[in-house]
Structure 1
Amino acid sequence: MKSMEAPLQQHIRNLMNGFKESIRKILQKDKPAGTPRERSSVSSLRIMIGKEIGDHIYSWRFVILIGIILLACIGSIYGAVSAIRGGSLDNNTGGDEFLFLRMFTLTSASLSIPSFTTFLSWLGPLIGIALGFDAVNSERNKGTLGRLLSQPIYRDDFIIAKFMAALFLIFVVVFSLGFLVMGLSLFTIGYPPTPEEFIRIVMFLFIAVIYIGFWLNLSILFSIRFRQAATSALSSIAVWLFFTIFYSMIIGLVNSATAVTQTADVSAQLRQMNLVLMLNRLSPTELFSETITTLLTPGIRSLGPLTMDQLVGAISSPLSLGQSLLLVWPQLTGLIAATMVCFGISYALFMRQEVRSRA
C-alpha cells in the first residue's frame, strides 16, 4: 500500500510544480523586457514626459499660442479661397493641377493675408521658444531641480523628457492645424487630394515639426546656459529675429560688396550667385523655406541658378514626388543636422553642470 502511495504523491507533486512553473511564465510575460535598471529608467522617463505634457497643456501661454495660430490658420484659408475665386492661379505654380496644394501657399493680394506656410514659418518658432525657454532654469530657480535629481532617476532622463514632451506637443499641434487646413480645403474645393498631394502635405508637416524642433532645442540650450528665464527668452527671440529679418539684410550687403559687373563672364556671375546662395542657406529659415516651397510647388525644378544650356530642351512639367525630394534633400539634411547639433550641445552642457539642492 505504501509502495503505491509514494508514486501517487510524487505524481501530484510534479503536477503542482508544473502548474506553478506555468503561472510563473505567464506572469513574466507581463513584465517589461530588460534589466531592472532599464525598466526603472523607462518608467521614470514615461512619468516625467506625462507630467511635462500636462504642465504645458494646462498653461496659459500654450492656450494663447494655440489660439493665435488657429486664427492665423483660418485667416490663411480665407485668403487662399479669395485668391482662387479672384483667379490668382498661374501655370508657373502648378495651375489647377495641384489646386489642393495651393491652399497652403496661395495668398490674397487684395486682403494682404499671408499663406499658411508663411504663418507657420513665422509663428512656428515662437511655439518652440515658448515651450523651451524656461525648461531648465525655472526648475533650478524654484529649487525643484535638485530635489528631482536626488530621486532614483537618471540625470539624462530629465533633459530627454523635457525635449520629448515639448516635441510631442509640437507634433500634435502642427498636424492638427495641417489636417484642419485639409478639411477646410476639402469643404471649400469639393474634391479630395490625390495620393501624391496627401503625401506632400504630410511630409511638409513633418518638416515643419523638425524646423520648430530646432528652435525648441535652441531655447532649451539657452535655458540651460542662463539662469534667468527672461534672459534665455530674449536670447532665443534675438536669434530668431536675426535669422528671420536681419540675416537677409546682411546677405544683401555682402552681395552688393562682392557684386560683379554685367559684362563679366558667365563663370564669374555663377560664382557670385552660388556664393550668395550658400550664405543664405546657412540660415535655418532659408532651409525651411526652400524645402516646403519645393514640396508644395511641384512646378519648381531648380533651387539654384540656371543657364540657357540647361533650359534648352527642358520639358515644362511638374516634378514627381521623388524628384522633389532629391531636390531638397541637402536642405532637409542640413535642417535635421542643425536640430541634432542643438540637442547634443544642450545634452552635454546639462550633464556637465553642477546641480545643488536648496536647503
Structure 2
Amino acid sequence: MIAKLSGAMLPEKVWNRLRGGFRQGGAASVSPEREAGSRSAFWVMVQKELGDHIRSWRFTILIGIIVLACIGSIYSSITAIKGGSSDGQSGTTFLFLKMFTLSSSTLSLPTFTTFLSWLGPLIGISLGFDAVNSERNKGTLGRLLSQPIYRDDFLKAKFTASLLLIAIVVFSLGLSVTGLGLLTIGYPPTPEEFWRILFFLIIAVVYIGFWLNLSILFSIRFRQAATSALSGIAAWLFLTLFYSMIINLIDSATAVSQMATVSEQLHHANFILTLNRLSPTELFSETISTLLSPGVRSLGPLTMDQLVGAISSPLSLGQSLLLVWPQLTGLLAATVLCFGLSYYIFMRQEVRSRN
C-alpha cells in the first residue's frame, strides 16, 4: 500500500504540514500540486481497498450466498407469474415489477426485495467491520498516515471503495433479475417500470450504505475486529427482528379502547407508526413497497372520509417518489449521521506507529 502511495508523493515543502494526516492552513494556502497529490493518493487507496475486497474469501462466500438466495426468489416469482398469481394488480399492468415483489405460494420462498433487505446489511457489515481496527492492529495505520496524505482521505477511501463495491453488486443483481425476466416471460419493462427499478436499486445502495457506515463506526470505536463484527450483527438482529417485537408490546400496552374517538385512535396509530419508522429497516421496507407496487397510495392510517371519492388507480412515478420522500430522507440522514460520527471519532483519535 505504501509502495503504491510513493508514486503520489507531494513536494518536500508540504511534507511536514501533512505529517499526521491533518489538514492545516486555510483554503487560500492550498497549492494545486498539493490538491493533485491528495486526489491521486485518495484514488490509489480506493483502488487498493476495492481490489482487496474483491479478492477476499469472505466477500466471495457472502456474494455466493446472496446470489443463490436471489436465484431462488427469481424462480419463485417466475413460477407465480406463469401460474397466474396476482399481488393486487390486474392483467399485465406493471407485470415486470412482480419479478421483484411476487412469490409463489407453493414454493414458500421470500421475494427478491425481502432477500435483499435481509442479506443486504450483511454485505455492509462484512465490508466495514474491520476497516480501521485491522489496520491499527497490524501496525500499518500509523505508517500509512505518516505518508503525505490527509487523514480524512484514509477514512473516505475506505467508505468510497466499499460503497462502490456495494453499488456494483446491487446493480448487477437487479439488472440480472431484469434480464432473466425479459428472457423468461418475454415481456419488456415499460419506461416507468425501468425507472422504478432503477430508483429501487439506488435506494437499496443507500440502505446498505447505512450498515456500512455503522460497521465502520464500530470498527473505529472498538479495537478488536471480532467485537466490532458482533456489534454490527447485534444491531442488525435488533433492528430487523427484536425492534418490531418491542413495538408490538408497546402497541398492546398503550392500545386505546374500541369506544375511543376517531382522533384518539388516529393519534395512537400515528404514534406506533412513528416508533416503527425510527428503524432504517422499516423505512427501507416502506420505500421499496411503494416504488415497486404503484397501487400503494398511502403509508399511514386513513379514515373513511379520506377514502370516499378516491379513484382506485396506480400512482405515477413522481407521486410515488413524493410519497416516500420522508422515508428516503430519513435513510440518508441516518447514513450521514453514522459517517459524521465515524469522521469525528477517527479525527480525534491518537495514532501511533508500531516499531
TM-score by length of 1: 0.89
After TM superposition, the structure 1 stretch with the greater mean CA deviation from structure 2, 63-72 or 128-137, is: 63-72
- C-alpha distance in 1, partners of 2:96/2:51? 35
- Structure 1 residue 86, shift from structure 2 partner: 2.6
Q: Which has the larger radius of gyration?
A: 1
Q: Give the counterpart letter for 1:88 in structure 2.
A: S
- C-alpha distance in 1, partners of 2:216/2:192? 36
Could you say which residue in structure 2 is the equivalent of 1:117?
A: 113
Counterparts in 2 of 1:93 and 1:336: CA distance versus 1, 3 Å: farther
- C-alpha distance in 1, partners of 2:169/2:149? 30
Could you say which residue in structure 1 is the equivalent of 2:296?
A: 300
Is contact 1:131–1:166 with CA below 8 Å preserved after alignment? yes
1:41 to 23, 38, 41: 38
- C-alpha distance in 2, partners of 1:243/1:48? 32
TM-score by length of 2: 0.90
Q: Give the counterpart letter for 1:129 in structure 2.
A: I
1:320 to 307, 316, 319: 316
1:68 aligns with 2:65: yes
Q: Give the counterpart letter for 1:247 in structure 2.
A: Y
Q: Give the counterpart letter for 2:341 in structure 1.
A: I
Could you say which residue in structure 2 is the equivalent of 1:187?
A: 183
1:166 aligns with 2:162: yes
- C-alpha distance in 2, partners of 1:273/1:320? 27
Q: Give the counterpart letter for 2:270 in structure 1.
A: N
- Structure 1 residue 85, shift from structure 2 partner: 2.4
Q: Give the counterpart letter for 1:101 in structure 2.
A: L
- C-alpha distance in 1, partners of 2:207/2:90? 25
- C-alpha distance in 2, partners of 1:315/1:160? 48
Could you say which residue in structure 2 is the equivalent of 1:280?
A: 276
RMSD: 1.1
- Structure 1 residue 34, shift from structure 2 partner: 6.6
- C-alpha distance in 2, partners of 1:95/1:141? 59
- Structure 1 residue 96, shift from structure 2 partner: 2.5
Counterparts in 2 of 1:56 and 1:88: CA distance versus 1, 3 Å: same
- C-alpha distance in 2, partners of 1:67/1:98? 30
- C-alpha distance in 1, partners of 2:90/2:311? 14
Give CA deviations for 1:17-54 in whole Å, capped at 9, x if unaligned.
xxxxxxxxxxxxxxxx9711100100000100000001
1:268 to 258, 264, 267: 264
1:85 to 69, 82, 85: 82
Give CA deviations for 1:82-129 in whole Å, capped at 9, x if unaligned.
111232204x34652011001001111111111000000000000000
Which structure features the higher share of helix residues? 1
- Structure 1 residue 340, shift from structure 2 partner: 0.4
1:108 aligns with 2:104: yes
- C-alpha distance in 2, partners of 1:74/1:200? 21
2:247 to 240, 247, 251: 251
- C-alpha distance in 1, partners of 2:184/2:143? 54
Q: Calculate percent identity across the aligned residue pairs.
A: 76
- C-alpha distance in 2, partners of 1:36/1:324? 47
Query: Which runs of 4 or more aligned residues in structure 1 lie more than 4 Å from their structure 2 counterparts after TM superposition?
Result: none
- Structure 1 residue 261, shift from structure 2 partner: 0.9
Partner SS for 1:293: helix
- C-alpha distance in 2, partners of 1:267/1:244? 31
Q: Give the counterpart letter for 1:81 in structure 2.
A: I
Aligned residue pair count: 326
Partner SS for 2:148: coil
Is contact 1:132–1:220 with CA below 8 Å preserved after alignment? yes
Q: Give the unaligned 5+ runs of structure 2.
A: 1-29
Q: Give the unaligned 5+ runs of structure 1.
A: 1-32
- C-alpha distance in 1, partners of 2:197/2:89? 16
